[in-house]
Amino acid sequence: MKQKYDVIGMTCASCQAHVNNAVKKTNGVNNVEVNLLTNSMIVDYNASTTSPEKIINAVKDAGYDAKIHENISLKTQNEKKKIALKKRKIGLIISLISLIILLIISMGPMLLMHLGVNLNINPYYQIGLEIILLIPIVIINFFYFTKGFKALFKLNPNMDSLVALGATVSIIYALYSYIMMIYIGLFLKGDISQYTERIYFESAGTILTLVSLGKYIENRATNRTTEVLSKLMNLSPDLITILDDNKEKTISIEDLKLNDVIVIKPGDIIPADGIILSGYINADEAAITGESLPIYKKTGDRAISGTINRLGSATIRVDKVGEDSTLNKLINLVEEASNSKAPIAKLADKISSIFVPIVIGISILTFIIWLFISNYNYSQAINFGISVLVISCPCALGLATPVAIMVGTGKGAENGIIIKSAEAFENLNKVDTIVLDKTGTITTGEMSIKEIFGESNDFDKVIAIERLSEHPISKAFINYKKIGQNYSVVDFKYIPGEGITASINEDKFIIGNISLIEKNKIKINEVFANKYAEYINKGDTTILISKNNKLISIVSIGDTIKNDSKEAIKSLEKLGRNIYLLSGDNETVTKNVANELGINNYFAGVKPDGKLEKIKELLSSNHVVAMIGDGVNDAPSLKIATVGIAIGAGTDIAIDSADIVLAKSSLIDVIGAIELSDKVVKNIKMNLFWAFFYNIIMIPLAAGVLYFSPIFISLNPMIASIAMSLSSITVVLNALRLKSFKVNL
């Protein structure tokens, strides 16, 4: 089974890696996905061999905490994040004010002295005041020490450990120097100048404050990556109106139950999926399917949760609530996709898990080397050692993939492209072969009138007759012209396997196949015979219509190609993809569809197991295959393909088997998905390059490799903490560029 958990205490990529590894090692756990952005974890485990308690204990043993995800409303979760960010902001403001005053007091007199102004401030009082100003900064940011040292003692050091070590060493060394100042200056009356130069209280305050500032900016930016989730959450109203004993009653969304009848008025958000019992609506489904125009829906039609009624009023019987509703399923899919990991991120994860211990080792080695190089100048050696601790940034590595995936999946959802996993993002970028199911994917999947040959003056009468039939072919006539003139139909007779006979105003109509026409000895002239043969050769269902024993028209009925299928297939070929058409229909029908769309490779009369075998053949030939389908018989093929893409109007089993769902049921969105995949993968690679490049360049620089004559380039802890914060922010801002993505056809 799958269980979602809230993880407490994660702050960087190494935290995420430690939690992931600890839970993965738990007996009975099949898979675990830890999300640093949402501080959540989804665990797939065997309930017979492990339990939530064991999983939580594994997280605790790694130095963190966890609890089963709270089943609270999505809006409440969002509000909690906002409150936590607001508290962090208040603490940050206090820290910044204290730090500014601290820097003025510690560095101001020195600057003035260089300008020829000597304030003659008592150094003991000055440094005492620095300690007082440092105290609120330490208290506000004390979580770095508690979390950092806890993780360090558990032998799972993280970014908090680096910050805590850097700040602690600065404070301890500064306190030691201050004590020596007092002892030598006040008691021994000796020279204290060597100790006044070793006071690093402002460095400790700067490290803590600037790292917190960076984390705050980073959190604000990462919150923007979840904007789509927030927008989707806002599509769930707090209060709704239902009919209770035929009286309107307002209830909370949490109290809505199956079979409740909700009342929808203009401007209302539809809170749950259901069937319209009465009235009509114009549903704005842009947020769910990406469809820009409102859709008219009447009695008997399905209403979708999260859509907005722009016009009309209706009552809707609820048949899906809570986690089963379309809106919540969409939110969960976007969340799960952001939790998942792209294969490209595995290298970063491996490095993150050993990154912090390596940095601590480099910091200690830097201190020892500089101690000898500088002839036991402890101040300089500590400076370099702390700079290494503070400048290293595991966060940039950890954020490189998830922020891009979160923005990408959100952008996809905005356009009606639901991408279920990070792996699908990366694999879609590599796809070279696309296999298309025919019915419901390329075509509408419904019988409709394709062409009428002959007279059409009496077609309203023909449709009036067809309205009395429940045959699937009759629906093609009714849908062709839903609103028409009413006629009084008499002598209606349905002849199974052949057609219909009926009369209107003493005119006798025969509507059916050639067998029914020939039985009634109706002549077929050469022109009609040729047109009939043409329709039959195309594989269309052909209906002949006679009036008063004279053949007046022939109607071609079939599954029509969607308006945008041809354009989509041309665009896919321009992108260099090989296109295959698979269909269970006969050779004639499949060949005609393939020719009309310009598809060279097609397979007709293919059964479900045959579709599966064709996909296997392509995969075994080293092709990266995307399968696009909509039916139950497509599910196995969708599952085995490198990337399975389901048409949104398809069956639930097809959608569940797919990696990507096209909510608008349009093949055009495949191009959008490929383009988005390309952008996201490039963004991830850019993020990873920056994260690796930053650490590879900045750590040696902080260690003092360029601190030699005549350049003497070095970074003090204050500059190092600024650089570390900027690296994470840069990665997040780079990912946010994906928000400007648009499909280009």
> Which strands sit side by side in the sheet containing 625-629, from one edge to the other?
417-419, 660-662, 643-647, 625-629, 433-437, 578-582, 601-603
Both structure tokens of 131: 């300690």
Query: For the chain, how far is it from start to end, CA to CA, in angstroms?
Result: 41
Q: How far apart are the C-alpha atoms of 398 and 471, rounded to whole Å?
A: 59
For helices 13-24 and 159-182, what crossing angle results, to 10°?
Answer: 120
CA distances from 593 to 445, 464, 473, 627 (A): 13, 31, 20, 18
CA distances from 646 to 163, 326, 668 (A): 47, 15, 13
357: left (phi over 0), alpha (psi -120 to 50) or beta: alpha
> Which strands sit side by side in the sheet containing 489-495, from one edge to the other?
443-454, 550-561, 541-547, 507-512, 499-504, 489-495
3-state helix, strand, coil in the chain (%, to 5): 55, 20, 25
Which of 647, 672, 450, 433 lies closest to 561, judged by CA?
A: 450
665: left (phi over 0), alpha (psi -120 to 50) or beta: left
Q: What is the DSSP string of 630-698?
A: -SGGGHHHHHHSSEEEEETTS-HHHHHH-SEEETT--THHHHHHHHHHHHHHHHHHHHHHHHHHHHHHH
Which of 645, 737, 642, 724 lies closest to 682, judged by CA?
A: 737
C-beta separation of 250 from 289 below 8 A: no
Which of 394, 400, 369 lies closest to 384, judged by CA?
A: 369
C-beta separation of 640 from 608 below 8 A: no
Q: How far apart are the C-alpha atoms of 505 and 303, rounded to whole Å?
A: 41
| H helix or E strand, kind and range, residue 10 | none
Beta bridge partners of 525: none
Both structure tokens of 413: 């959802």
**At 448, which amino acid appears?**
S
Q: How far apart are the C-alpha atoms of 130 and 103, rounded to whole Å?
A: 9
Beta strands (DSSP E) in 564-617 are: 578-582, 601-603
Task: State phi, psi for 441 to the nearest 5 degrees.
Answer: -105, -60
Catalytic residue among 260, 268, 284, 437: 437
Sign of torsion over alpha carbons 267, 268, 273, 277: negative
3-state secondary structure of 376: coil
> Which strands sit side by side in the sheet containing 295-297, from one edge to the other?
295-297, 281-284, 308-309
Both structure tokens of 399: 């954020």
228: left (phi over 0), alpha (psi -120 to 50) or beta: alpha
Q: Catalytic: 437?
A: yes
Q: How far apart are the C-alpha atoms of 354 and 362, rounded to whole Å?
A: 12
3-state secondary structure of 148: helix
Q: How far apart are the C-alpha atoms of 14 and 683, rounded to whole Å?
A: 21
Burial per residue of 197-232, b for 16 or more beta-carbon CB atoms within 10 angstroms, e otherwise: ebbbbbbbbbbbbbbbbbbbbbbebbbbbbbbbbeb
Both structure tokens of 287: 């947020």
Enumerate the active-site residues.
437
